[in-house]
Every structure is written in C-alpha cells, then in structure tokens.
Amino acid sequence: KNQVEQSPQSLIILEGKNCTLQCNYTVSPFSNLRWYKQDTGRGPVSLTIMTFSENTKSNGRYTATLDADTKQSSLHITASQLSDSASYICVVSALTGGYNKLIFGAGTRLAVHP
C-alpha cells in the first residue's frame, strides 16, 4: 500500500533556531518527492520537488534531502522565522495508469515562538 509517514507530528521551536522534519515513504512506482508548506485554512504551496536522481535541493532557508535507497527524505529549516509557523507536508508522486497521483503525508505542524 502506498504510504507517506512524517515525524514528528508537531514541533515547537524558538525563533532563529534550526529544525529538521522527517518523511518516510513506501510508494511505487516512485516519480518524485515534494515538500509543501500549508498555512492554516489555506492551500499547500510548493517548497521543493526532487526526482529519483536528486539528493538535495534548496529553496532559500529550506533544504530538502532525498535518499531513494532508504526511501527517506528530510526538510531542514535554517534560522526559523515566526512566518515559518505552518504545516509542512511531504508528498510523493506515483505515476499510476498514465496519471500523476500525489500521496500526501499527514504533515508536521511547526510552531515558531518568539
């Protein structure tokens, strides 16, 4: 069964600190892995997208890693800001029957406190 699991479920950090979010997946056939940021009551916004051959990708203070052998990914946030408070969702894309099916994790809820 295609699954995406994220940890921790929630996280509280102080402004300026770094943090790392984890994602494990069992999805086949794997197409790519994406990290999204979702503010409360809003639609997800893409942060990074990585294909099988990519190990790391950065977007400003966000750096995602992918280990396709162990089927693990991480999202590292550097020098956190109050505006980073949101849910971070790991999404794995499976190319199934000719269409691109996205399988979402439940997300990690990050709260950045002053």
> For binding to other proteins (CB under 8 A), which residues are involved?
4, 31-32, 41-46, 49, 51, 89, 91, 93, 95-107
How many alpha carbons fall within 13 Å on the CB side of residue 4? 26
Kindly state the smallest distance separating residue 43's Cβ from other proteins, in Å.
3
Kindly state the smallest distance separating residue 114's Cβ from other proteins, in Å.
25
Q: Which is nearer to other proteins, 77 or 105 (CB)?
A: 105
Phi, psi of 84 (to 5 degrees): -75, -10
Kindly state the smallest distance separating residue 51's Cβ from other proteins, in Å.
7
Q: Which is nearer to other proteins, 80 or 93 (CB)?
A: 93
Alpha-carbon span 48 to 63, nearest angstrom:
8
Kindly state the smallest distance separating residue 56's Cβ from other proteins, in Å.
17
Q: Which is nearer to other proteins, 79 or 111 (CB)?
A: 111
Q: Which is nearer to other proteins, 45 or 82 (CB)?
A: 45
Alpha-carbon span 102 to 92, nearest angstrom:
6
For residue 111, give the nearest of 15, 34, 43 by alpha carbon: 15
Angle of CA points 99, 74, 5, to nearest 5°: 60
